């Protein structure tokens, strides 16, 4: 940590030290979390936070943009190269505003949008009723099959033909299997809809060749820049040339003012890292680790939605373990295994106290853990759940000590 923080604000410095210690001594299993490199951290905390830059490169409303324009152009060019897209916008502040910009670009209030229902693994901004996207637009939701946890595309097609959405989202936040972009493209073509792939969770896997790319199938790609892409907390929109002007106008001036230039620079760094050959190894190791962890959990008697995983994410239904997801997540946190409780498809429990756990492997893979460590984690999770049921905090503390010992051999990058 900077000596300036310690001398200026020792209270905050102490909290930052405690968070660094927490991250170092625990294992982050939340699939939307990761650990960025020292270079990404440095760019995020650079002097670029001082500069205001409404507009786009070459078309700004303030002067002094000579360097900022080059930085944003660098990020855009790297995004285009990494994902093979015609156009990229790196200015969205985060994933939800990025998705809202898509609505602004293509829809009028009251138009119909179709996305995966939130309890089935979709995202709030795909038209769920508590989101602005479900309040200002007419939303219809497709689901997964109760028996398999998978999408039945014939049923999606029937829903689309009945409701005639102008825009269809594919992707979500709790989907453990490969997304069939071609099937969604066929449905979108049949009803004349704009097709959007929200790849926020799997962008790094796509960049590293560990998941099929949607680029040749969809009109717009939306993604955050953290999660598996291992960058700062930001977002990007990528599109075909014919949609570029609409997307850019929706982001600015439609929804935002000046971009966060320090985040843009950090995105550029993360994209540069993702363009290196080693990132392909990283992306494939994420999937290998997730499969090894899933296999261990299955052997320990856990019920996994869809029976396993194809990507970085595992969704656990704890019903057969006779413990709610929230209680399990809090117990595992005591044991140094940081997960999040999550609804499962057709969950009979409330969203704030659901039946499931959502875990993933991006962060632990970044730290260098591989299949042998995944099997250790799976066994610790099983022991932690049983300790939680028995209210055995002593055992949770013992697991935490074991987790801390392992974590100490895999230091955080950039720490």
Which residues does the annotation mark as catalytic?
Answer: 52, 54, 198, 224, 227, 233
Could you tell me if residue 126 is left (phi over 0), alpha (psi between -120 and 50 degrees) or otherwise beta?
alpha
> If phi over 0 gives left and psi between -120 and 50 gives alpha, with beta otherwise, what is residue 237?
beta
Which residues, including other chains, have CB under 8 Å from residue 276's CB and lie 6 or more apart? none
Question: How far is residue 178's CA from residue 188's CA, in Å, rounded to a whole number?
Answer: 19
3-state secondary structure of 90: coil
Residue 197's H or E segment, with its range, is: strand 194-198
Residue 289 neighbours by CB under 8 Å, 6+ apart: 361, 364, 365, 369, 370, 371, 374
Collapsing DSSP states into helix, strand and coil, what is residue 109?
coil
Mutual orientation of helices 393-408 and 371-389 as an angle, nearest 10°?
160
8-state DSSP, 118 = G
Q: How far apart are CA 7 and CA 11, in angstroms?
A: 10
Burial class (CB in 10 A: 0-12, 13-18, 19+), 311: buried
Alpha carbons 374 and 285: distance in angstroms, whole number: 11
Distance CA 226, CA 224 (A): 6
Strand partners, 138: 112
Q: Is the distance from CB of 170 to CB of 212 less than 8 angstroms?
A: no
């Amino acid at each position: 940590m900077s000596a300036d923080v310690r001398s200026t604000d020792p209270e905050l410095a102490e909290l930052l030290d405690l968070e660094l210690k927490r991250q170092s001594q625990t294992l982050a299993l939340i699939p939307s979390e990761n650990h960025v490199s020292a270079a990404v951290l440095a760019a995020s905390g650079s002097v670029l936070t001082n500069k205001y830059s409404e507009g786009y490169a070459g078309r700004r409303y303030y002067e002094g943009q000579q360097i900022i324009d080059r930085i944003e152009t660098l990020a855009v060019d790297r995004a285009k190269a990494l994902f093979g897209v015609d156009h990229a916008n790196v200015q969205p502040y985060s994933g939800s505003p990025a998705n809202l910009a898509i609505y602004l670009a293509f829809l009028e209030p009251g138009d119909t949008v179709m996305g995966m229902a939130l309890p089935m693994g979709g995202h709030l901004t795909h038209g769920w009723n508590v989101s602005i996207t479900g309040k200002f637009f007419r939303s219809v939701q497709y689901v997964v099959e109760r028996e398999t946890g998978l999408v039945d595309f014939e049923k999606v097609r029937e829903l689309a033909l009945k409701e005639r959405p102008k825009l269809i989202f594919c992707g979500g936040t709790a989907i453990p299997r490969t997304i069939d972009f071609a099937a969604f493209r066929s449905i979108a073509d049949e009803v004349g809809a704009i097709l959007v792939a929200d790849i926020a969770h799997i962008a790094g896997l796509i960049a590293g060749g560990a998941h099929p790319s949607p680029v040749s199938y969809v009109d717009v790609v939306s993604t955050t820049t953290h999660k598996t892409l291992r960058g700062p907390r930001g977002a990007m929109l990528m599109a075909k040339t014919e949609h570029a002007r609409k997307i850019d106008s929706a982001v600015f001036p439609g929804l935002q003012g000046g971009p966060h230039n320090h985040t843009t620079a950090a995105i550029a760094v993360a994209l540069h890292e993702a363009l290196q050959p080693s990132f392909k190894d990283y992306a494939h190791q994420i999937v290998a680790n997730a499969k090894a962890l899933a296999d261990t959990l299955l052997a320990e008697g856990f019920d996994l939605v869809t029976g396993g995983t194809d990507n970085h994410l595992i969704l656990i239904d704890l019903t057969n373990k006779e413990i709610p997801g929230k209680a399990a997540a809090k117990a595992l946190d005591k044991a140094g295994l940081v997960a999040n409780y999550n609804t499962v498809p057709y969950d009979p429990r409330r969203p704030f106290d659901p039946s499931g756990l959502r875990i993933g492997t991006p962060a632990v893979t970044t730290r260098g853990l591989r299949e042998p460590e995944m099997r250790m984690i799976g066994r610790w999770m099983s022991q932690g759940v049983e300790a939680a049921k028995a209210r055995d905090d002593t055992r949770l503390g013992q697991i935490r000590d074991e987790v801390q010992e392992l974590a100490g051999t895999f230091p955080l990058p950039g720490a």
